[in-house]
Structure 1
């Protein structure tokens, strides 16, 4: 049982603390920008910039995960994240925002995640048995999903009470606390340490090897291509959600966070039942079907602008999206050899995240040029639905 696995508990706890800080950052940053500039374009562009490092650093992170101590990578990454958070706070403290410095600080802070995420994913098979992979992924997703409910309400309240910049101090502290918790993870055995010693000169070879393996595994690569289009569609809307709720619909931030919290309930339910669903149905069927249903559900946002209704639809979308993620992570862990898992995680994440900054920027651009949020939602729903249909016709849709 995962509850009795102290190794996994420390990993789970570290992820929980870090995720709490992430919610403060996710809410505070766009609010600060909107308060100081009123610009949906700059808010969405900043959101998009935070995903650009996935394109540049994912493969490096994968190589690090496969060749160095994953525990040390996770700890070091969180310490650097705390330092970069301080830089971001410094940039935002002034009355006017220097967007060059802002984008640079956001880029540096966001660069940590692609460098350590492969280590987080690939350390899971090292500390738990294979028959617990689905349960472990569901447990991790349950944190995300629970915080999807609590995070907006708690984060929105803290941002309102403390102010956006002050709330970012708590985000910085969360990185330091996470690093301390991860110190409790077991140190690799001597045999493992010898195995992972690896000269940096071979980094390029590792990157190429991981890319070749990923591209030749048609099922795994088809999944990352499906996420490429779904992430583009999702972030056209998500990057502009705060602007839509507070500026277009004129809701207070409390109503926006309530809608987000209701939306998180779908993810929570999916996290609780995800392992049973993943173990019962074929991976290809789940991945393609959940993507189609998430796309069709998005279109329901066109029916009403009531914030409770919006929250309910977001909950439906997040349910299918979370089932999607649990299924793909489990499929990847079950089929990819451990020795190359970190690099495959990096390649697939790099491909799937490449469209996020473009989708964020494109959604903000449409709004800045007078298009309605309804047009953005319609386009996003259609693209995500088509991505699911394409997956169903690909080798991924036939995966058992």
Structure 2
């Protein structure tokens, strides 16, 4: 197969556009809920609902990636996300939020990501050669992390000026534009299977993908580390807007400034990630950076100044993104291309399973009168222990 490296720009450009819209979504939904109800529980639960489809549909997404045209999956997925975004706007524009409908709308929109993410990850080897995997992953993370700086300020300003419900229209537009950009990708090397034949193979593929993932002890150990890491991270992250605006009484702009400062660390990780991954053992990087991210989380207990919080968030994001770049590269280098989509989906399903629980648990603690300091303390301890456990797992011994 002829590799045209220039085609990679269509992939990262579509990612950039849709991610800009995602930042509006991430900020608008909790702000809308907190403005209308003041409920940390509902804000955190809504955040958690967004990740439930990763547990339910990841294996299906992996099978689609390995058996169907990845380009088509990505385009159809973004178009469907536009429609789901319209449904969400309809729900939040009502004076009183119907949380049952809101959870359904969030679930429907969130279902797109697990169905197309394996295709996004596994189309990379079809666009570039293996010697550029680390740099490609670092590029994607750099885009994501640059938006971690610009996204909060831009999103916070737009939400403040237009209102949360109106800002969501830009999110809808971003998905549609991303679908248009993806038309520039080369035709997928995966032979398109008839739908009936693909469905017949689905169960078999899911079983094969799960068996392979569980048998690869290094890869599976990594997903288990992320299981505990994500639980801890989202106890805090799901309640960040509540913490800043309701507990500490900062205006939204100060909260977004703290988030933007935190994005600097993530950006730096994306810039140097390719070089770091190629110079150190993956197991050492993954376990060590997880421990350091946990210790950094505990630093949030020392001050409530929003600039200080932003700096600490930068440390946490730096180590967390070194994690992501390292694990993605390890997975792409060790898993056969024909299995990569399913392995991506299985490991992502395992690691994401704890996000809804962590988000809900953090909101529940706050709803029962516990302070955010308790949430931060538990999150830091759990994440540190996850890194220590990984050090003694097959992942930590990876050569």
Q: In structure 1, list runs of 5 or more residues that go unmatched.
A: none
Deviation string, structure 1 residues 182-203 (Cα, Å, up to 9, x no partner): 01111135xx426898521110
Contact 1:293 1:385 in 2 (8 A): yes
Paired with 2:30 and 2:192, the residues of 1 have a C-alpha distance of: 45
Q: Which residue of 2 aligns with 1:68?
A: 68
Paired with 2:270 and 2:248, the residues of 1 have a C-alpha distance of: 31
Q: Which residue of 1 aligns with 2:330?
A: 331
Contact 2:23 2:151 in 1 (8 A): yes
Q: Which residue of 2 aligns with 1:193?
A: 191
What is the SS of the residue equivalent to 1:377? helix
Q: Which residue of 1 aligns with 2:302?
A: 303
Q: Which residue of 1 aligns with 2:181?
A: 181
How large is the RMSD of aligned CA atoms in angstroms? 1.1
Matches within 5 A, 1:229-244: 229-244=228-243
- 1:393 paired to 2:392: yes
Q: In structure 2, list runs of 5 or more residues that go unmatched.
A: none
Paired with 2:76 and 2:313, the residues of 1 have a C-alpha distance of: 35
Matches within 5 A, 1:24-35: 24-35=24-35
Contact 1:66 1:196 in 2 (8 A): no
What is the SS of the residue equivalent to 1:154? helix
Matches within 5 A, 1:208-223: 208-223=207-222
Deviation string, structure 1 residues 244-289 (Cα, Å, up to 9, x no partner): 0000000000000000000000000000000000000000000000
* Runs of 4+ residues deviating >2 angstroms: 192-199
Q: Which residue of 1 aligns with 2:342?
A: 343
Contact 1:235 1:360 in 2 (8 A): yes
Aligned residues: 395
Matches within 5 A, 1:1-400: 5-188=5-188, 192-193=190-191, 198-400=197-399
Deviation string, structure 1 residues 196-231 (Cα, Å, up to 9, x no partner): 985211101100100000000000000000000000
Contact 1:54 1:111 in 2 (8 A): yes
Paired with 1:251 and 1:195, the residues of 2 have a C-alpha distance of: 54
What is the SS of the residue equivalent to 1:396? coil
Paired with 2:281 and 2:209, the residues of 1 have a C-alpha distance of: 26
Paired with 1:52 and 1:398, the residues of 2 have a C-alpha distance of: 32
Paired with 2:175 and 2:192, the residues of 1 have a C-alpha distance of: 29
TM-score normalised by L of structure 1: 0.97
Deviation string, structure 1 residues 85-115 (Cα, Å, up to 9, x no partner): 0000000111100011000000000000000
Q: Alpha carbons of 1:16 and 1:253: their partners in 2 closer, same or farther (altered >3 Å)? A: same
What is the SS of the residue equivalent to 1:386? helix
Deviation string, structure 1 residues 280-335 (Cα, Å, up to 9, x no partner): 00000000000000000000000000000000000000000000000000000000
Q: Alpha carbons of 1:172 and 1:208: their partners in 2 closer, same or farther (altered >3 Å)? A: same
Q: Alpha carbons of 1:301 and 1:194: their partners in 2 closer, same or farther (altered >3 Å)? A: closer
Contact 2:28 2:164 in 1 (8 A): yes
Paired with 1:158 and 1:14, the residues of 2 have a C-alpha distance of: 21
